[in-house]
Amino acid sequence: MEGEKNKSGPEKTIIPEYSFDAGVTKILDRIMDILGKQPYAVVAFNASDKDVGKTKLAMTLIKELFQRGVFCKNFHDPKEMQKEERREKMVVIFDQLEWDSSERSSHKAIKESHDADVASSFDEIGYEIRGIDLWIGIYRPDKPFFSSAQPGKEYAPIADIIIRNEEAKDKVTKQ
């Protein structure tokens, strides 16, 4: 069901979950809201595994943002940043920043660490960006977020929105 909530307990953070297409719409709405308040938006993906649709999601967002007149660039890691021409509005996507589920109690520390890496990388090229504005969880039903749950510990993806990508397939590699 679209907008279905993903939570693992009565007091847990509720994360909206969407199909790929509905999720793209929600993500674009959130990005445009962010850009209404600041000139740059930084989006990071937390994927359950490989071949879950990270590249397709990033390329779809880039295409849609371009059609709205917003420059967007995709990177795997903040250290890949290169000097970019100043843009009035810009979105940066880190499509492989975090993998799988992590213990909920460590989410804040993980986010702070990634925010510091992102801020430092942008600072080196002259942008004042404080960190990640929007986290997207993405998975396939046959490749769910793994929980190595231990008694008394809760695991979940780092995400503001979760995409359930039922159309993604394993990539065929040439041998």
pLDDT of residue 145: 87
**Predicted pLDDT at 120:** 87
Instruction: For residue range 54-73, list pLDDT tens digits in order.
Output: 999 999 999 999 999 999 98
Higher pLDDT, 71 or 155: 71
Q: Which pLDDT tens digit goes with each residue over 84-111?
A: 666 778 899 999 888 988 888 889 999 9
CB-based contacts of 17, cutoff 8 Å, min separation 6 = 3, 4, 5, 6, 161, 162, 163, 164
User: Which residue in this structure is represented by tokens 């990388």?
Assistant: 121
Write out pLDDT tens, residues 1-11.
455 455 444 34
Q: What is the model's pLDDT at position 20? A: 97
Tell me the whole-structure pTM to 2 decimals: 0.86
Q: What is the pLDDT of residue 112?
A: 94
Q: Between the ranges 42-56, 74-88, 103-117, 148-162, where is the mean pLDDT highest?
A: 42-56
How far is residue 103's CA from residue 109's CA, in Å, rounded to a whole number?
Answer: 11
pLDDT of amino acid 131: 93
Would you state the pLDDT for residue 2? 54
Q: Which residue has the higher pLDDT, 33 or 175?
A: 33
* Spatial distance between the Cα atoms of 3 and 17, rounded to a whole number of angstroms: 5
Selected residue with higher pLDDT from 130 and 126: 130
Q: Count the neighbouring beta carbons within 10 Å of the beta carbon of residue 71.
A: 15
Average pLDDT over residues 123-139: 88
What is the average pLDDT score of the chain? 85
What pLDDT is recorded for position 155?
82
